[in-house]
Amino acid sequence: MSYFNTKKTFRWLTYYLCPLFLQKFKEVKSAAIFKYILFTIGLALLIGAFYIYLDKKTFLERAVTTEGTVVGSFKSTNNLNIYYHPIISFKTKKGEKIKFVPSYNSGNPINEKSFEIIYDPANPQEANIKKYTSAFGLPIFMSSFGFLFFIMLLVFHLGQKKAKYIFENGTRIITQFDSVKRTRTHIITGKLLYQICTTYQDPNTNKVRVFKSTKILIDPTGFIKSKNIIVILHPQNQKKYLMDISFLNS
């Protein structure tokens, strides 16, 4: 049985949607702008979804149902895919003959001879095939993306807050640069992500510990001028840490 893994999802969003936020949290202005953008896009999608829902609902309440006849069709191409669009004709209650192209299309030639259609009696050109007209489809799609942007905003805010806490209260140790590791491709930009790897030998146990930076969008190799790189350990849980890679901003 599958279930929603909140911790794994938050980590995925952190790595792929804002991989630079840990080293940039001190740039308050940049972070505030990023939060504002996420909030604005999310809110706009939710408001747009609500407006479209009301518009569709109003249309369906006043719409009239009738039979429409397929009088022709045409095809279009998109990314080498062929789509067929029916041309439908119907008569209004007033006897006016209307011809329109619905939003429906098919990957196969149109074989149907007729469709049940709905139209606005005040504006008969505003018509569509009844079974493909819903007040919920597009609004649900848009609101889902709206909530996704709010989740991204929450993840960014919590990650920024956590990084700030470690930076201000953690224990600083000097680690030795080891290598730059290429990781998975960024899901949005399509570019490789990078991580700085360092090592630290604990003077009490002589054990060597490996540290990895957060995911980085650019190759940091040319920015590393010293073998010494500071890592800040969480004050309560030293398994958690923050690598200081602020030199990437220079």
Closest to 194 (Cα-Cα) out of 218, 177, 225, 226: 218
The 10 Å Cβ neighbour count of residue 71 is 12
pTM over 0.85: no
Instruction: Return the half-sphere exposure (C-beta side, CA atoms, 13 A cut-off) of residue 108.
Output: 2
Instruction: Name the band, by pLDDT with cuts 50, 70 and 90, for residue 190.
Output: low
Least confident of 19-28, 39-48, 187-196, 205-214: 19-28
Q: With H, G, I as helix, E, B as strand and everything else as coil, classify residue 57.
A: helix
Beta strands in the chain (DSSP E): 64-78, 81-91, 97-100, 114-120, 123-129, 171-185, 192-201, 208-212, 228-233, 241-243
200 vs 248, higher pLDDT = 200
Res 135 pLDDT > 60: yes
What mean pLDDT value characterizes the chain?
Answer: 82
14 vs 53, higher pLDDT = 53
- Tokens at 130, concatenated: 């009844």
Residues 6+ apart with CB under 8 A from 56: 133, 134, 135, 138, 139
Closest to 59 (Cα-Cα) out of 139, 127, 138: 127
